[in-house]
């Protein structure tokens, strides 16, 4: 026998019949100025600590990282640009399947690949599995100068050493939006991640890819939009857009020897 719960208008069953979303992004590479505002606002929103002396580009925590790139032409004919790289929020995330602790989970309601540092024990299989290098390991405990911990965002818990973290499309903001929607008794909400809010040229468009009317869906379907390493079949929900072919060629960087390059510290 199955027990049925009478409907209570004052307490609607929030978890049932919730709208399924696929939050995604389209980043216009032609509008990115490489200023780094997205990186800074991301670090503030997600309580990333200022770098200690020995932290380098290999050991730092930059959940959103902007990479300078170029078309490998000799100077001065070289064309350059910038590629902001958050977690790609794959539909088939390789990091999820390799995690022995179930610390990575694709949220079916939002389409966001969640990272739960409380479960992570730091094996870093996910870092090895991620083809986008979008995951970061906490090599040390976060430290803030005395008093600066007052400026931390209460919606996001600081992570300790020994765990992996990554962009989760500002999950704290998503929770706030969900709470507000629940208070108002509707399920029709959206929100803005910190990097989208910060971009001075509005190069990042964010929204629900399930919504056919949304700007993000329209841009994602544009013929000049593309996804990085699409051939791997991970189905990223972060799209890039460019009117320039050399930038679109960045998507499959191992295709041939003339593909564009990421600029390194000693390039």
Partner 1 sequence: MAITRRDLLLFGGGSVVALPFTPIPYKLLDDVSIWTQNFPWLPVPKPGEITQVATTCTLCAAGCGLKVRRVDTRPIGIAPAADHPVSHGALCPLAFGAHQLAWHPRRIRTCRLNGAEAEPSVIAAKVAAAISTGAKFAILDERPGRAVSSLYRQAATLAGGLYLAPEAAEEATLAAIRRLLPATAPALGFDITNARTVLSFGAPVLDGWGVPGEMLTRWKSGEATFIHAGSRYSHTARLAHRWLPVLPGSEGALALGLARVLVDEGLAAQAAGLDHFKTLLDEMPMNRVAEITGLKPGEIASVARELHAGGPAVAIGGGELAGPLGEEVETAIAALNVLLGAVGREGGIVARGPLAADTPDLAPVTTLNQAAAGSIGVLLIEAATAGAAQPWKAIASRLAPEALVVVMSPYQTGYAAFAQAQVATPAFLEALEEAPTAPGAARHSYALAPTVLDAPETAIAPAAFLALVAGEAGWTSLAEASTETAIKARAAAIHAAKRGSVFAIEDASETPVSGIESADALYDKLAAGAVWVDAAPATPPLKPALPGATGDDRQRLLAAAATPVAPAAGDFAVVAIPAAWTGNAPAGTRVPLAGKLDQESHLRALPGEAMIHPATARRLNIKAGARLLVESEQAKCPVTVRLSDAVMQGVVEVSPGATDTLDLFATAHGSALRAVRVRLGRA
Residues that bind partner 1 (CB under 8 A): 31, 33-37, 39-41, 43-45, 47-48, 50-51, 55-57, 60-62, 65-68, 74-76, 78, 80-82, 101, 117-121, 141-142, 144-154, 156-160, 162-163, 194, 197-198, 200-202, 263-267
Residue 18 or 253: the one with the smaller Cβ distance to partner 1 is 253
CB nearer to partner 1: give 128 or 157: 157
Shortest Cβ 162–partner 1 spacing (Å): 7
Report the largest interatomic distance among the alpha carbons of the chain, rounded to a whole angstrom: 78
Instruction: Give dist(CA 21, CA 116) in Å, integer.
Output: 20
Q: What residues form DSSP beta bridges with 208?
A: 23
Q: Which is nearer to partner 1, 156 or 232 (CB)?
A: 156
Q: Smaller CB distance to partner 1: residue 90 or 163? A: 163
Strand 104-106 versus strand 261-262 pairing type: unpaired
Minimum gap (Å) between residue 220 Cβ and partner 1: 20
With 0-12 / 13-18 / 19 or more C-beta atoms within 10 angstroms meaning exposed / middle / buried, residue 49 is buried
Q: Least distance (Å) from partner 1 to the CB of residue 145?
A: 5
- Tell me the three state secondary structure of residue 163: coil
Least distance from C-beta 71 to partner 1, angstroms?
Answer: 12
- 66 vs 181, beta carbon nearer partner 1: 66
Question: H/E element holding 97?
Answer: helix 94-98
Strands, DSSP E only, in 176-242?
204-208, 225-226, 238-241
The torsion angles phi and psi of 83, rounded to 5 degrees, stand at -125, 105
How near is the Cβ of 97 to partner 1 at its closest, in Å?
Answer: 17
């Amino acid at each position: 026998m199955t027990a049925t719960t009478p409907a209570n208008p004052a307490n609607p069953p929030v978890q049932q019949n919730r709208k399924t979303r696929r939050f995604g992004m389209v980043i216009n590479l032609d509008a990115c100025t490489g200023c780094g505002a997205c990186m800074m606002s991301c670090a503030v929103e997600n309580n990333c600590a200022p770098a200690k002396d020995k932290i380098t580009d290999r050991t730092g925590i930059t959940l959103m990282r902007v990479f300078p790139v170029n078309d490998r032409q000799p100077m001065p004919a070289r064309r350059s640009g910038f590629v902001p790289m958050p977690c790609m929020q794959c539909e088939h995330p390789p990091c999820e399947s390799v995690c022995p602790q179930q610390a990575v989970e694709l949220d079916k309601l939002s389409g966001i690949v969640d990272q739960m540092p409380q479960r992570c024990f730091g094996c870093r299989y996910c870092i090895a599995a991620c083809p986008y290098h979008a995951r970061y390991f906490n090599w040390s405990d976060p430290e803030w100068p005395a008093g600066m911990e007052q400026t931390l965002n209460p919606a996001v818990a600081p992570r300790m050493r020994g765990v992996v973290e990554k962009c989760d499309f500002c999950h704290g903001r998503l929770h706030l939006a969900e709470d507000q929607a629940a208070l108002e008794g509707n399920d029709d909400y959206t929100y803005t991640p910190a990097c989208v809010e910060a971009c001075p040229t509005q190069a990042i468009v964010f929204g629900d890819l399930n919504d056919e009317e949304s700007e993000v869906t329209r841009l994602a379907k544009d013929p000049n939009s593309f996804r990085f390493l699409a051939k791997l079949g991970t189905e990223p929900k972060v799209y890039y857009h460019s009117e320039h072919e050399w930038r679109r060629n960045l998507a499959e960087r191992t295709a041939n020897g003339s593909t564009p390059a990421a600029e390194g510290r000693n390039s």
